Amino acid sequence: DSGVTQTPKHLITATGQRVTLRCSPRSGDLSVYWYQQSLDQGLQFLIQYYNGEERAKGNILERFSAQQFPDLHSELNLSSLELGDSALYFCASSPRGQFYEQYFGPGTRLTVT
Amino acid sequence: GESVGLHLPTLSVQEGDNSIINCAYSNSASDYFIWYKQESGKGPQFIIDIRSNMDKRQGQRVTVLLNKTVKHLSLQIAATQPGDSAVYFCAENIGGNYGQNFVFGPGTRLSVLP
């Protein structure tokens, strides 16, 4: 158990809908990263937050957004969902100042039908 | 659990034998590399890392070798055990200081035979 929690574990929704994925980082970690993992694809970095502020953006679609709250939990919002958005979404957190040392949560499996 | 990488290359190894998993990375300027293990239904788990100024690094039952000339990384697992069955993938840091520029390989599925 990495100490990073993600909810829900599974999510099934229809095209055009909007969902919110939630992540709680390890206690004391300030950085949160969001990744997408599709079948047969490597992990793709989406976005990073540090202590409530956006730190870096990767290949994140405009339909997707995220935020990190004062209690350091983070939410990833996916809207106008398409079939191709079906994937595993992982959150990771890293200790203060140790950005390379990322601890991954168990992921949320999103299925868009 | 969820299936990751249904069509990944698979390495089948007899229990007790050594495993070697390979990874070709893309950027000659990458300065840091990590090997991850991902079991079914779980998130990636850090195994071992290596910086570009090193050729070899050893951990507990694992060794990572880095060949910068051919941009190749390998993970050696000694005395492979059933619990080692998982998808293994490498990650390279192509730049930046905040962990936002890791490029992850698609992975190799390790299957340990009894």
pLDDT in tens, B24-66: 998 999 999 999 999 998 999 999 999 999 999 999 999 999 9
Q: Evaluate whether A79 touches A29 at the Cβ level (below 8 Å).
A: no
With a pLDDT cut of 70, the percent of chain A lying above it is: 99
| CB pair distance less than 8 Å for B43 and A33 | no
Across B60-87, average pLDDT: 96
Alpha carbon distance, N-terminus to C-terminus of chain A: 31
Which one of A31, A40, A43 makes the best mutation probe of the B interface by having the most chain B beta carbons within 10 Å?
A43
Which one of A9, A33, A37 makes the best mutation probe of the B interface by having the most chain B beta carbons within 10 Å?
A37
Cα separation values, A53 from A21, A49, B42, Å: 18, 5, 27
Beta bridge partners of A20: A77
Residue A1: per-residue pLDDT: 85
The predicted model gives B103-112 an average pLDDT of 92
Average pLDDT, integer, range A18-45: 92
Q: What is the pLDDT of residues B93-104, one digit of tens each?
A: 887 766 678 889
* Token pair recorded at residue A36: 């997408």
